[in-house]
Copies of this chain bind each other. A is one copy, B any other.
Amino acid sequence: MERVKAFAPATVANMGVGFDVLGMAVEGIGDYVTVEKTDKPGIEMVDIVGDAGRLSRDPKKNTAMIAAQSVLNMLDIRQGVRLWLEKGLPLASGMGSSAASAVAAAVATNTLFGEPLGREDLLPAVLDAEEIVSGRHADNVAPALLGGIVLITGLSAAEIHRLPVPAGLHISLVTPGVEVPTAAARAVLPQLVPLSVMVHQTGVIAELIHGLHRGDIHLMAMAMQRDAIVEPARESLIPYLAQMRLLATECGALVTIISGSGPTVCSICASHEDAEVVNQAIREAYHQNGLSSTGYVTVPSIRGAYIVEPAASA
């Protein structure tokens, strides 16, 4: 195999009450990475499409290049890789853009060399990449790599858990035309939390996990909206968030949360139709407030990243 193309999906980290420990992969939007072997060691970036020239081509700063190199290191391969990156995800949108690039590159590179590593084995490589942009957090890379909803309590395999994904879950994502750098979104968080609030947070994430296992999307949504720490602190960073939450609820959304560190607004709905209505309404409301936006209606991605080329044989 001389050329491999992989796709890795967008991810909704945090899921309301799971700050830094929960993330969900979503179908249909994400980044593509194509890789080819070369005899020259190291990673060569041939082209990046869709980033408006903003991403670094430095092999030590570009997450796709870092992840590809980490996989080569893990495999002890002296050859190099030429790499094409197609960004389907906007930068700094809260949908795991850097993670998707890293995961697609890692999966593509592993497949290019005969798939010696399993999906879980690739986690250190994508964490190496994620560390450069937002710290060694796995709440985007793990779901992009493994698919579904993932709980991360540490970086060992025994601390990464795929959770059940309730049936009938539909997702509206709207990204208003403002940027919220992850660093800014972290800076607004309180450094200390009252014990009583910690008790509340542990209770409501427990309720969310219980709801996921029961396949009860109403309980899931109820729990997701009970965050008392992170979403309230970030509310002022996301334009018109309170208004959009109300609007989404009126249009049938079960809950509306900030995707990752924002500004993407994620609404959970019980039907595709509801998600479409919510998506349109939020985009229209942003437009009326003078803000551009992009919108997407989707479902959870159970498979996570996958190989696009060569196509799997039947």
Assess whether A189 is interfacial by the CB under 8 Å rule.
yes
Number of A positions contacting B (CB below 8 A): 40
| B161 & A199 in contact (Cβ 8 Å cutoff) | no
| A163 & B210 in contact (Cβ 8 Å cutoff) | yes
CB distance from A208 to the nearest CB of B (A): 8
Segment with Cβ contacts to B, from A19-27, A51-59, A111-119: A19-27
| B22 & A199 in contact (Cβ 8 Å cutoff) | no
CB distance from A134 to the nearest CB of B (A): 14
Given contact pairs A192-B193, A194-B192, A161 touches B210 in the complex (Cβ within 8 A): yes
Assess whether A191 is interfacial by the CB under 8 Å rule.
yes
Copies of this chain, tallied across the complex: 2
- Residues of A31-73 at the interface with B, using a CB-CB cut-off of 8 Å, are none
- With A and B bound together, what is the CA distance between A104 and B151 in angstroms? 39
Contacts of A226 in B (CB 8 A): 153
- With A and B bound together, what is the CA distance between A163 and B211 in angstroms? 11
Residue of A151, A152, A189, A210 with highest tally of chain B CB at under 10 A:
A210
Chain A interfacial positions (CB closer than 8 Å to B):
17-22, 151-154, 158-159, 161, 163, 189-195, 197-210, 213, 222-223, 226, 229
What are 8 A-B interface contacts by the 8 Å CB criterion?
Answer: A20-B203, A152-B203, A153-B223, A191-B195, A192-B195, A193-B194, A202-B205, A213-B213
